[in-house]
């Protein structure tokens, strides 16, 4: 590991960034350096400008992917190298926000298509709690409180913990899974040959379980672990749960972030009184098929 990489890693760790974010940031800076064939601290504003344009116009990456890389480069130059003036050289590209995908009956199809009991438990935990994939991968056995019927998220986004309701159906599956695997520390431990004994699975394992099940279930929608989070929140809203409660359950710091589910909830959309219905219109049978307009006298 180079001195520069070690320095950036320490800056990320001292701010308690998640493992997946650390991995992504380090990889983004490495790709930036490889693109120019130079150490990243030797590159300047012109290089940043051309690289960002290259990602958007030549590689045609999604805006969200470019935003993630810009965030990584911002951290490297501003936080690691202390070049605060570089912030202006790294603008975030404008993103035309699309509504997230929401599953309906496909959720059951997805869970039933799990390859084994472990993947089934992962998928049910994602949908049954609305957790992020990293939060699921970091769950410990002690976080499952069957007496209170709660699941504790110790290290959520931003380091904020929260309690989530534990459904009986999820508890039944987790108990069956525990009797099979008998995990000691982490609920979903990594295998000995992968990340080491008594270590959690990678969040990529959670992502893979979701993608593989979607393929076998022949679901044509774009499905990721976050899709199950969106679906859970939307279904809660449709069942009558208030927005503030959903905000707390999802671990959102801002209610505005949670409010996007209003645009996805069929129950809320269908209760809107459409002003078209109040118009006194002539019968549709009076509208001719051919273009014809009477002349005014």
Active-site annotation, residues = 132, 157, 226, 229, 252, 261
Token pair, residue 205, equals 């394992």
Task: Give the separation between CA 243 and CA 250, rounded to whole angstroms.
Answer: 10
DSSP state of 186: B
Task: Give the separation between CA 92 and CA 69, rounded to whole angstroms.
Answer: 10
Q: What are phi and psi of 68, to 5 degrees?
A: -65, -40
Task: Give the separation between CA 280 and CA 283, rounded to whole angstroms.
Answer: 10
Which residues are registered as beta bridge partners of 145?
150
DSSP secondary structure string for all residues of 208-224: HHHHHHHHHTT--S---
Task: Give the separation between CA 149 and CA 171, rounded to whole angstroms.
Answer: 8
Among all chains, which residue has been given the structure tokens 């809320």?
268
Token pair, residue 40, equals 């990243």
Token pair, residue 144, equals 């499952």
Query: How many CA atoms does the CB half-sphere of 73 hold within 13 Å?
Result: 29
Three-state DSSP class for residue 159: helix
Task: Give the separation between CA 108 and CA 89, rounded to whole angstroms.
Answer: 47
Task: Give the separation between CA 91 and CA 162, rounded to whole angstroms.
Answer: 33
Among all chains, which residue has been given the structure tokens 């099979």?
180
Three-state DSSP class for residue 189: strand
């Amino acid at each position: 590991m180079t001195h520069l990489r070690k320095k950036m890693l320490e800056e990320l760790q001292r701010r308690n960034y998640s493992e997946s974010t650390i991995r992504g940031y380090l990889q983004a800076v490495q790709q930036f350096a490889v693109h120019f064939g130079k150490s990243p601290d030797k590159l300047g504003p012109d290089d940043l400008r051309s690289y960002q344009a290259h990602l958007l116009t030549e590689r045609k990456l999604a805006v969200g992917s470019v935003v993630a890389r810009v965030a990584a480069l911002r951290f490297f130059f501003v936080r690691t190298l202390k070049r605060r003036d570089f912030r202006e050289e790294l603008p975030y590209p404008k993103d035309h926000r699309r509504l997230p995908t929401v599953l309906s009956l496909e959720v059951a199809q997805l869970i039933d298509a799990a390859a084994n009991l472990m993947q089934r438990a992962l998928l049910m935990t994602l949908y049954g709690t609305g957790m992020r994939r990293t939060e699921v991968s970091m769950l410990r056995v002690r976080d499952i409180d069957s007496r209170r019927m709660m699941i504790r998220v110790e290290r959520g986004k931003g380091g904020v913990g929260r309690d989530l309701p534990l459904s009986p159906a999820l508890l039944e599956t987790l108990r069956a899974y525990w009797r099979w695997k008998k995990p000691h520390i982490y609920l979903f431990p990594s295998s000995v040959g992968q990340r080491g004994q008594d270590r959690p699975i990678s969040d990529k394992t959670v992502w893979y379980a979701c993608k593989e099940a979607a393929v076998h279930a022949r679901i044509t929608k774009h499905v990721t672990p976050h899709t199950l989070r969106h679906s859970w929140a939307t279904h809660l809203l449709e069942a009558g749960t208030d927005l503030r409660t959903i905000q707390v359950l999802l671990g959102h710091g801002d209610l505005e972030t949670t409010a996007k589910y209003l645009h996805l909830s069929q129950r809320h959309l269908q209760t809107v009184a459409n002003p078209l219905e109040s118009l006194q219109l002539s019968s549709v049978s009076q509208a001719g098929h051919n273009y014809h307009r009477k002349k005014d006298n």
